[in-house]
Chains A and B, each alone.
Chain A
Amino acid sequence: MYAYDEIDRTLVNERVSEFRDQVKRRLSGELTEDEFKMLRLMNGVYLQLHAYMLRVAIPYGTLSAPQLRKMAHVARRYDRGYGHFTTRQNIQFNWIKLADLPDALEDLASVGIHAMQTSGNCVRNVTTDQWAGVAPGEVEDPRIWAELLRQYSTMHPEFTYLPRKFKIAITASDHDRAAIKVHDIGLRLLKNASGETGFEVLVGGGLGRTPFIGKVIKPFVAGRDILSYVESILRVYNQYGRRDNIYKARIKILVHELGIEKFSAEVEEEWQAMRDSALQLDDEIVADIRSRFQYPGYQTLSDTPDELTAASADPQFERWLNNSVAKHQKPGYAIVTLSLKPIGGPPGDATADQMDAIADLADKYSFGEIRVGHEQNLALPNVAKRDLPALWQRLDELGLATPNVNLITDIIACPGLDYCSLANARAIPIAQELTRRFANHELAEMIGRLHINISGCINACGHHHVGHIGILGVEKNNAEFYQITIGGRADEGAVVGTLIGPAVPYDDVANVIEDIVESYLALRARPDELFYQTVERLGVEPFKERVYATR
Chain B
Amino acid sequence: MTSPLQQKIKITGPSVVTANRTWDGIVIYRDTQQGWTDELADAAIVRTADEARALLAESTADDVDAIGPYIAPVIVRDDGAIEPGNLRERIRRQGVTIDLPIPA
Q: Interface residues, chain A, CB within 8 Å of chain B?
A: 26-27, 29, 32-33, 47-52, 80-82, 97-99, 345-346, 349-352, 417-419, 426, 428-429, 432, 478-480
Contact = CB atoms under 8 A, between A and B. Distances in A.
Contact of A98 (B22, B97, B101): B22
Given A82-B101, A349-B101, A99 B23 contact: yes
A98 B68 contact: no
Given A97-B24, A346-B98, A49 B68 contact: no
Nearest to B67: A33
Given A81-B102, A98-B23, A417-B91, A47 B68 contact: yes
A97 B104 contact: no
Given A32-B63, A97-B23, A99-B24, A80 B100 contact: yes
27 contacts: A27-B22, A47-B20, A47-B67, A48-B25, A49-B92, A50-B26, A50-B95, A51-B24, A51-B26, A80-B102, A80-B104, A81-B101, A81-B102, A97-B24, A97-B25, A98-B22, A98-B23, A98-B24, A346-B98, A346-B101, A349-B101, A352-B102, A418-B91, A418-B97, A432-B98, A478-B87, A480-B87
Contacts of B68: 33, 47
Contacts of B67: 33, 47
B8 interface: no
Contacts of B81: none
B23 A49 contact: no
Interface in B7-22: 20, 22
A50 B27 contact: yes
B98 A49 contact: no
Contacts of A418: 91, 96-98
Contacts of A82: 100-102
Contacts of B77: none
Contact of A50 (B25, B87, B98): B25
A162 to B, nearest CB: 18
A26 B22 CA distance: 9
A49 B101 CA distance: 18
Contacts of A27: 22-23
A532 B92 CA distance: 38
Interface in B58-102: 63-64, 67-68, 86-88, 91-92, 95-98, 100-102
A498 B25 CA distance: 39
B63 A33 contact: yes
Give the 6 A-B residue pairs with the shortest CB-CB distance, closest first.
A81-B102, A29-B64, A51-B25, A97-B24, A82-B101, A418-B96
Interface string B29-40: 000000000000
B22 to A, nearest CB: 7
Contacts of A419: 96
A426 B97 contact: yes
A142 B20 CA distance: 42
A24 to B, nearest CB: 11
A428 B98 contact: yes
A19 to B, nearest CB: 15
A50 B63 CA distance: 18
A50 B70 CA distance: 15
B53 to A, nearest CB: 20
B103 to A, nearest CB: 9
Contacts of B88: 49, 417
A439 B54 CA distance: 53
B25 A98 contact: yes
Contacts of A351: 101-102
From A27, A50, A419, A479, residue with most partner B Cβ within 10 Å: A50
Contacts of B27: 49-50
Contacts of B22: 26-27, 33, 98
Given A29-B64, A51-B25, A428-B96, 8 more contacts: A27-B22, A47-B20, A49-B27, A50-B20, A51-B20, A418-B98, A428-B98, A478-B86
Contact of B25 (A47, A346, A478): A47
